[in-house]
Amino acid sequence: MSDDKRGRDENPEDEQRQQPERKREEVRDRAREDRAKSGDPDGRLGGLDAVLEAQDYPITTDELVEAYGDYDIETQGGTESLEEVLAPTDNQTYDSADDVRSRLLGLIHR
């Protein structure tokens, strides 16, 4: 068998081996996009959004304010600190970054 013939025969096999890997990469990319969409799509939470993802849960309102109270959040009236945004709320427990985001985004959209 010539080198030329062997090269053509191996290409389809290589292609088939790469397909599952490409599919996994596509799934990972879609998952990243979905997380971005479910997080803070308008970027109102700024750097706080990434910090919330890395945070261990559960966490309370008081613990959030103590740890991240100085983080700036874009509100309808300008920029306020996390502490200012959460000031009118009671102490509650959050089970995930999405819980905190939902609460914060709900408060700043009032």
**Six token digits for residue 42:** 């308008």
Cα dihedral across residues 68, 69, 73, 79: positive or negative: negative
76-100 confidence digits (pLDDT tens) = 889 999 999 999 999 999 999 999 9
42-76 confidence digits (pLDDT tens) = 788 989 999 999 999 999 999 999 999 999 999 98
Element (H, E) at 75: strand 72-75
pTM score: 0.63
CA distances from 26 to 32, 41, 68 (A): 10, 21, 34
Within 10 angstroms of residue 9's Cβ, the number of other Cβ atoms is 9
Euclidean distance between CA atoms 87 and 46, whole angstroms = 19
